[in-house]
Amino acid sequence: MDCLRGYIGLKGCGEVTPPASGLYINSLPFINSVQLSNLIDSDKDGIQNVYNDIETRALLRFTDDIEAEFGKRFQLNNTLESINLTRKLDSTTFNPDDGVKWKGFTVDLRPYNDAMYQYSALSLISIQSLSFYANLNDVASTNEVAIFDLTSGEKLFSKIITIAEGWNLIDVYQSFSNDMMDRSRLLFCAIDTTSITFASSTIDPFLSNQYYGTLRINGATAVDDTLAILQTTQLHGFSGIVSQNCSFEAVVCQNKASFKRTLLYCYGYEYLQEALNSDVLSSTTTSMAQSNEKLLPEVLADYKAALMNAVAGFNLDTSDMCITCNERFQLKEITP
């Protein structure tokens, strides 16, 4: 849940601006900078790296727990659709470099008639993998594969690949922003074909026609990094596996303040886990071990209570296409 990264700060570590939450991990009564510095070892060069590890684990835990807690009240449709563009070529004839830098496809969550709207605030685009079919003559060329947010122009994913003959697989396994303020409603997945040849492959026209709530996919090119998109029926030997998924992340990312106490205690719990499992031995860490062990269940209980109370304050629209009504069907039979 990257929208929360940096939302809880680390006081006294050269921060230029305070975190948006106004909260710091070392504002908790059982954490201070000295205790954090005692966790520095050969794998963690500095207090900031200790904090970064705690934050990463805390966000993973928090994401899983949010999904589970909301799931007690609302049943989520985790995957609405999954689309494999396949590796079908029109022919194995290759076309020379035409001066157009980026070739690939766009993935659009937006309806035709409203660029600022999408059918569900809980839906997001996920990319499993991308593929490019290459010519023998281009083997060992290095080219960039990228995913852009066309609303902001931001490059969300980038990987330099060394071209091999035939199909080149690029693993992505990434879901893209679920924050309503910068959500990636329109993505451009592409490869830089500068100085290499490319094959011909036609996209299924069915994918360009969006039905209610479905993804709309078009072949696309951009001459340069200004990303002036030209839609086309051609994929140019580029392909991918794309999904529309649902997540409760949007609820959190759009209402961060409602979860800041919960998140703070999640960080605190992960700090205690770090302290109890640290390989660093000193008089300070040894003397604190028993105290931390006693604190662990108390902090976990505070965190779980805060999580439950925060989630209880939200009533989601059960007609949303990402939510299945969570009513339990009961069959009652009366016997004489």
- Summarize pLDDT for 157-209 with one digit per residue, the tens: 999 999 999 999 999 999 886 554 556 789 999 999 999 999 999 998 888 87
pTM over 0.85: no
> Percent of the chain, pLDDT > 70?
83
Q: Which of 308, 333, 318 is nearest to 70 (CA)?
A: 308
For the residues of 247-288, what is the DSSP string, one character each? -THHHHHT-GGGGHHHHHHHHHHHHHHHHHT-----HHHHHH
The pLDDT of residue 241 is above 90: yes
Which residue has better confidence, 158 or 327? Answer: 158
pLDDT (0 to 100) of residue 45: 62
Ranges of H-type helices in the chain: 33-37, 47-71, 249-253, 260-276, 283-312
- Tell me the mean pLDDT in the region 46-72: 90
* Rounded-to-integer distance, Cα 6 and Cα 14, Å: 14
Residue 327 has pLDDT above 50, yes or no: no
Question: What is the C-alpha separation between 229 and 104, in angstroms, rounded?
Answer: 10
Domains of the chain (ranges, CATH numbers): 2-74+251-324 (no CATH), 79-247 (2.60.120)
pLDDT for 114-169, tens place per residue? Answer: 666 778 888 889 999 999 999 999 999 999 999 999 988 889 999 999 999 999 99
Q: In this predicted structure, what is the pLDDT of residue 256?
A: 92
Residue 329 has pLDDT above 50, yes or no: no
Token pair 């993804």 in the structure block, residue: 215
pLDDT grade for 292, boundaries at 50, 70 and 90:
confident
| Residue scoring higher pLDDT (61 or 36) | 61
The β-bridge partners of 126 are: 175, 243
Question: CB-based burial of residue 271 (10 Å sphere; 0-12 exposed, 13-18 middle, 19+ buried)?
Answer: buried
DSSP string, 57-92: HHHHHHHHHHHHHHHTT-EE-SEEEEEE-----SEE
Report yes or no: 275 and 292 within 8 Å, Cβ to Cβ. Answer: yes
pLDDT at 71 over 50: yes
First-to-last CA distance in the chain? Answer: 55
What pLDDT is stored for residue 294 in this prediction? Answer: 85
Q: How much is the pLDDT for 1?
A: 81
The residue that leads in pLDDT, 92 or 106, is 106
Residue range 330-335: average pLDDT? 41
Helix/strand/coil percent split, the chain, to 5: 30, 30, 45
Among 20, 41, 53, 8, CA closest to 265: 8
Distance CA 316, CA 312 (A): 10
Mean pLDDT of the chain: 86
Residue 224 has pLDDT above 70, yes or no: yes
Report the range of poorest mean pLDDT among 12-21, 192-201, 228-237, 238-247. 12-21
Percent of the chain scoring above 90 in pLDDT:
55
Of the ranges 8-17, 89-98, 128-137, 207-216, the best mean pLDDT one? 128-137
Query: Quick check: 52 pLDDT over 90?
Result: no
Sheet with 79-84: list strands edge to edge.
Answer: 79-84, 238-246, 123-134, 166-175
* Cβ atoms of 28 and 264 closer than 8 Å: yes
